[in-house]
Amino acid sequence: MSTVPQLVVHRDKELMAQAAAARLITKIVDAQSARGRASVALTGGRNGNGLLAALAAQPARDAVDWGRLDIWWSDERFLPEGDPERNATQARAALLDSLPLDIGKIHEMPASDGPYEPEAASEVYAAQLADAAEAAEGALVPSFDVLLLGVGPDTHVASLFPGLPGVRESERTVIAVHEAPKPPPTRLSLTLPAIRAAREVWLLAAGEDKAEAARIALSGAAEAQAPAAGAYGRERTLWLMDTAAAAKLPPSLFPSAVA
């Protein structure tokens, strides 16, 4: 069932990143208190990495039991291990390498210099997700406490691009993406069904180049034309924005107060 998007608009991207980082810490701590563990799916891009860098600077991060956190990715660029353009490499530099994480709970998507071609790599990651899924009947992915997504200027989320077949995938949880319209052309991505299994989905949009994408995605567009419109969580869908990205939203959507 789709959850109605909630919008939180901050004055600028720096405040957005800081507030999102504080919000994420609180969510992880709450999940660990309730269930003894937590799981988060990270995203790449400037807004995703900005959030991680802001989290690294938060003194409150010490409230998290990092050894009881599973970290996944919503998508990855199919490049060699350690390539500076890989989302996992950037996440490690921005935050992960500074945390006392359990290495067995860091679930990177396969790299291009490993033993798998893209399609096989997607199946390997799908199997890892299925193995970690809760015992609920038919669950194919964990119920991520938070799944982060950056929103592209073309409305893409993860590596699900408008007009490409991946956005219509309804059976698989992970796919290989070919001929992506932005480099690198080959990627791995969670599908919309996998994204929608998350308890909460947070979409990050900052900058005036995201304003039209936000307007389209939040104005009832079809997910095939605007993948961000099809990204929502089971319990909550949260759009975290700055005023530049929210500039084209109709008054009926724009919150009455800016955080």
CA torsion sign for 172, 174, 179, 180 is positive
Nearest to 78 by CA among 133, 14, 125: 125
- The one-letter code for the residue type at 29 is V
Q: Does domain 10-186 have CATH number 1.10.760.10?
A: no
Q: Which residues of 180-212 are buried (b: 16+ CB within 10 A; e: fewer)?
A: beeeeebbbbbbbebbbbbbbbbbbbbeeebbe
* Residue 253 pLDDT: 72
Tokens representing 204 are: 């990050």
CB of 232 closer than 8 Å to CB of 2: yes
pLDDT tens digit sequence for 224-243: 999 999 999 999 999 999 99
Neighbours of 111 (CB within 10 A): 20
Predicted confidence (pLDDT) per residue in 136-177, tens digit: 667 899 999 999 999 999 999 999 999 999 999 999 999 999
Question: What is the model's pLDDT at position 146?
Answer: 98
pLDDT at 174 (0 to 100): 98
Structure tokens at 116: 């798998």
Q: What pLDDT sits at residue 252?
A: 75
Q: How far is CA 127 from CA 120, 131, 145, 153, 223, in A?
A: 11, 6, 19, 31, 26
Q: How far is CA 83 from the centre of its chain?
A: 20
Please tell me the distance from the alpha carbon of residue 251 to that of residue 22, in angstroms, as a whole number.
28
Structural domain boundaries in the chain: 10-186
Q: Mean pLDDT per segment of 10 residues, for the chain of length 259 residues?
A: 88 96 98 97 95 96 97 98 98 97 98 98 97 79 97 98 96 97 97 97 97 95 96 97 94 61
Work out the end-to-end distance of the chain between its first and last CA atoms, rounded to an integer number of angstroms.
28
Tokens of residue 91, six digits: 């996440």
Please count the residues of the chain. Answer: 259
Which H or E run includes 210?
Answer: none
CA–CA dist 192, 171 (Å, integer) = 10
pLDDT of residue 251: 77
